[in-house]
Structure 1
């Protein structure tokens, strides 16, 4: 059936975000009792018990619209990060803040610089606003800041740097990133996406929040979806110059972050003991997986996030499919720009050990004693 009304021409050049099969579908398809989901970079340890307790208490005012200004959450995040309340813009995930930045600052023909393999929503949102994405190839999985600097033109409006980068998990070093920030013209907005920053343990990672006082064109993105374990509630935010924040508020939906999400985020923020525990467990799991990949002779990107991209030497779709049959859901690197890789979320100790056994079996490295 061909509809008479047509969508915008730009939509013919955009593919929808590819979602993997649900765990229920995979269980049914392969006759599995359970699925170990290691594909979406979620916090495998869940969220703070304080959040669970708060949600179980219920909320008798769900008939009311949420606080469009996120007043309590704004106050708590402001105090926790040491930034002004007016510098904060909250969104339905940090994805929405990316959309707001594009909507507010990209016009027809404008350019936004980004890595060629990075979070895809940068490109999508810029493209929808009529802008052009200037994609600079990664170097060994890391942002090529020299190449990005050389790509700046009089049409450049935004620069996106995902640090740690998704999907490679790599970071840009302190001196290199600071030098880059200092060199970018002040009329260009630099967006540093730090969705995974709480997982970083490398001391060569730049603490960017103090730079907000020096660089008015700096925007820092954070989220409650990753280490805080609130991916299902969708809460993200940007920290930026108050004038920039004011422009984003003009294009933001009024009630974009629901009441339960706001309340849960406040509770999650108050439990930094849980966050520290998750970071420690993640670092141990990351070290274990890297050691196992080294043992198996598999190259991988040095990650500072809660996932690792590893080169299997075979078609990523094939390996991901075979792992799914054995109850392990990972992300193939085919659509991520590295066709012979898979990206695996770091799980619990039990998850990680079971995953390695399954990977060995799928790669033909150890076919004895494995219970599929």
Structure 2
């Protein structure tokens, strides 16, 4: 094979591809396991609404047509549901795409974007690709240090990202602290509140941010249908923002960025709020079980407001992950997430949660307990 003479952009030398790892199928084959329970990807293990599945069968006759590039029907339904105006909404191919488009539209080469040191990694990656400089602020006990983020603002700052609840820790910032933070950020700097796990947050300390859109034109709120609505495979998310910001995003997006099935599924998912509430309730039950059992076992963890938990294992997360995989459980090692002696686990069905605890106890017994 001939050597490739074409060179990519210099900035890509600073970027690595997102580590996807081996597929569940490959791991099953490699480990000789009949099945694997996947608790590594923060998906809604309860699936999606049955109404969505039924509705999508009626969409199959229309696959030869292009989707609505403006997602008008979904935008109208969302505006009614959220009590915002249609021109305040932007529909994306997952909220990931909206992050990318915000940076494409508003970040110039050399501009800075402030974010937590340990948070959703695509902020940093996309800022770097656009020629910007990520400014990383360490967490305090797994939570955003908003005071230090404010102190990190310079004349070059263009955006600030706050992931709330935060991935991978599941923590939230207190309501009054976030209110104060939003008020203090200069109005020419975009505040991006990534609320991908919004529906799972049940704490009274969680800020209901939508009402702040009226007061702060630099506020962008991102949410998704990938998590509680169980549509991760269709890739659809949305942002709420000032109409000017949405109009600029429309200039840099692909014409048909959200496929037809995703738009149809999101509309029906939004209508089936009973399913959403059931998922949140089952997640709360699973969370309380895990917190109770882990506390008895002496495992520290971050108190989560999402559908996953970061558990401090007292030994390398890679080792714990390998041991759990032998039992047919796939979880995420904290080594790739900024916490090498931890694992991140999706909260699952009660049966799977009990099985996870049982396997963790077996590993603890063999390894002599938590250090």
1:173 correspondence with 2:171: no
Q: Residue 261 of structure 2 corresponds to which residue in structure 1?
A: 260
- What are the residue-to-residue correspondences of 1:1-372 with 2, within 5 Å? 2-364=3-365
Q: Deviations over 1:241-295 (max 9, x none)?
A: 0001100110000101000000000010000000000000001100110111111
* Structure 2 gap segments, 5+ residues each: none
Return the offset for 1:365. 5.9
- Measure, in 1, the Cα distance between the counterparts of 2:234 and 2:46: 16
- Measure, in 1, the Cα distance between the counterparts of 2:183 and 2:349: 40
Kept in 1: contact 2:202–2:305 (CA 8 A)? yes
Kept in 1: contact 2:59–2:261 (CA 8 A)? no
Kept in 1: contact 2:144–2:162 (CA 8 A)? yes
TM-score, normalization by structure 2? 0.97
Kept in 2: contact 1:360–1:366 (CA 8 A)? no
- Measure, in 1, the Cα distance between the counterparts of 2:59 and 2:190: 41
Q: Find runs of 4+ consecutive structure 1 residues off by over 6 angstroms.
A: none
Kept in 2: contact 1:308–1:344 (CA 8 A)? yes
Kept in 1: contact 2:28–2:36 (CA 8 A)? yes
- Measure, in 2, the Cα distance between the counterparts of 1:286 and 1:92: 29
Count of residue pairs the alignment pairs up: 367
Kept in 1: contact 2:14–2:128 (CA 8 A)? no
Return the offset for 1:362. 2.0
* Structure 1 gap segments, 5+ residues each: 368-372
Return the offset for 1:57. 3.1
- Measure, in 1, the Cα distance between the counterparts of 2:135 and 2:366: 41
- Measure, in 1, the Cα distance between the counterparts of 2:62 and 2:285: 42
Name the SS for the 2:256 alignment partner. coil
- Measure, in 2, the Cα distance between the counterparts of 1:69 and 1:322: 48
TM-score, normalization by structure 1? 0.97
Name the SS for the 2:315 alignment partner. coil
- Measure, in 2, the Cα distance between the counterparts of 1:243 and 1:186: 14
Return the offset for 1:58. 4.1
Indicate the structure with greater helix content: 2
Return the offset for 1:358. 1.0
Q: What CA RMSD, in Å, does the superposition of the two structures yield over aligned residues?
A: 1.1
- Measure, in 2, the Cα distance between the counterparts of 1:160 and 1:214: 19
Q: Deviations over 1:133-178 (max 9, x none)?
A: 0000000000000000000000000000000000000000000000
Name the SS for the 1:60 alignment partner. helix
Kept in 1: contact 2:283–2:307 (CA 8 A)? yes
